[in-house]
Structure 1
Amino acid sequence: MPLYCEYAMATNGGALEREGMTALPDMTELVRKAQRVVLLLAPGDVTLLRVKVPPLSPARLKAALPNLVEDQLMSDPEECVVVADNTRSDTRTVAVVQRTWLELLARTFVTMGARRIVALPAQLCLPYQRDMASAAVAEHGEDIDVAVRLSEHEGIGLSIVADQPESAAFEVMQSLAMMVPNGAVTLYVPQARVRDYQESLNIAPTLNERITLHADNWPRWIGAADKVQVDLMTGLGASTGPKFDWSRWRWPMALAVALLAVNIVGLNVDWMRMKREAEFLRNSMVQTYKSAFPKDTVVIDPLAQVRQKLAAGQRQSGQLAPDDFVALAAQFGEAWTSIGQGPNAIAGLEYRDRSLTVKLKPDAKIPADQLTSALASRHLSATQPNAGVWQIRSGK
């Protein structure tokens, strides 16, 4: 037999959109669409304790809570979920519930597609007024659950089985008067049962003076639930936290993957085309080099080897290469003279690795910009590796 549940759908601002009662399996679509599922746990299933806690970090307090409440529980704390409120006071409200039952609820709603699940004690979801208790009646056939909020941080649950259906309302109020012997009580009952409860109050004047009846409604529960600071689902870890809805992103992700695949294929095709062109150009240069120099059997870098051959041919024919010592020295001498400098400022010349190194005397004052410009006009480049040292290279 399916479990029937009362439910309500509300906006983020708390406005009621839809309410009703349906079988739990039929709520799958509603659960999947909701951003958050809030479970109001029956007050008889949740024990609320006021516990004085030491000043510990949240992680250490969570580990210490079972030991702090062990003496007040009839069951093994390891079989329970124990969660404290998120206030900073020395005395906290601690909620205790059976772990296996809460895990079953969590698995059920996760399977139904819930993104985030919150579990709150129903007795703390009742409106709170100073010096006044509040209670709510939930009837399930012959079984009646009564949630009672005694103070801002305390609440209990009553389970009542009436001897006769006609006397159920009177027995509820009698039990409530025994649990709250002093002070006024606000009692919320189902809309269809307001008349029966009012008639029972009229029979007992003492109860009528203390108990005020109101028809129950979802907006009252929704408004009070937003202020509750004890979420029992936090005791189960991250398994009931927010879940990312991948189903909404399956088409955008498929499109992104398709675009990425197209780009990767395009890049690989372009790379292969350029690689073939590079191989064709290299083979052409190698063939040209071998045609010009058939005696050379080893060709590693045809372009560099052609330059070496041309330079060697120029030397053999008596021509100077642009980076020979004589050519560099002559061009440097012309540039040096053009800026009005004499030989007295030069300490020495050195030729190495096809570059001319000019060492200046310590007291020499050279207009660097003019010298660089004069050298550039003669296709020479100049750098200063150290102070008073110029390195001249051919720019051809």
Structure 2
Amino acid sequence: MNNNQPLLVIWWPKALDQTRAEEEGRTIRVRYEVLARSGDKLHGGDEALNKLPKDLPCLVLVNPTELGLFAVVPPKLSGAKLKEALPFLVEPYLLNEPEENHVSLWSNLPSHANGARLAAVLGKIRARSIVSTCTQHGLKLAGLSCETLRERTGSEGAAWLSGQDFILVDGIDTPLLTPTGQPAVLKVMLQRRLQQLGAPMIQLSSNDHAWLHSQVDGALGENKIQATDRAPVEPLPRLLTKSLLGADELRKMGMRPMANQGGLSKLLTPALVLAAVAVLGLNALAFKAERANAAIETQITESYTQALPNIPMVADPLLLIEREKRNLNAGLDTSNAQGLSALLHEVGQAMDQAPFNSMVDFAWADNTLSVRFNANVTEEQQGAALQKLKARRLDAKWLTGAKSNLPVLQVKKGATR
């Protein structure tokens, strides 16, 4: 990939919008910009995915509501061992299984206590859908990242507007994301961040500062919010170094990561000749290897089906079998539909329209599950979740937490009357 070539940046829509477009037979429309490597905007707008330039390296930005960001203290591991441990490190924060996520670590929290780092969590199904669509439309995917991974350029906090979102990064806590269409939520979340111990001053560009001033009153403390003439956050092309998926993971999904093409044109012809000779000899070996692999995969599938006939093989079969063995050894009743795990599963399905990282914590007492969410869960999403749970004959209701104003979803064992 030529480092001087302009970069195509695409803000990917939410999964619901993408699914709706596919069901209606429409090509999804995306917000895009073509940027110089310095970050300067050359042009941009809103366009159908199939009409975007195919000759430019492409950086896809996942919708921030679909990327979980958590402050974690990583174990003293490195390399492959650390990569294997990361999904289980963030397991307490998630409703799905560890094997269903891509997890990566970033050093975006230099001021956080205890040496915590920022863990980014993206569902494998969502990542596979995005990469597959890019391949379908011939885009040259150079990286898959998210705008909330951008870092401030100075020691102060940095905030900016992006589409329908207000984003704040300050280095002491996970990035703050609030919808611009909900000024009340924005005010509460921003006040809470400004009151944190050690919270730095927040800088915004002049235009964004004027917008923020028009949305909230003077109760925020204007002495901690300043306008600046230059962007307080790193340029978007820097996110190429913060891809949520590595080159190996992209290859497994059928995408060939772009490589540096400088100086290769003169070597192309002799390389093709050598490749043609090599292919003749390798084809026979490849055919034998494919037959052997197919036989092994068939044997694995048959063995797995015999061991766990009612459980779909969504991850490494050995890991799934080992998990079932641990559950049986621990005496867990996995068929008990009224247990804690079952209720958490029901809540996860009912809150499928909520932001990906909106859950704060949960508690289990007196056969009652209480799940606390962030303030960015709208009343419409709360009502939809309540209807789904009641349709499942579960006794559910929304409460306002005693220790905060955050919404709490309470689900009890037993059917509703």
Query: Which one has the bigger helix percentage?
Result: 1
Rg bigger for which structure? 1
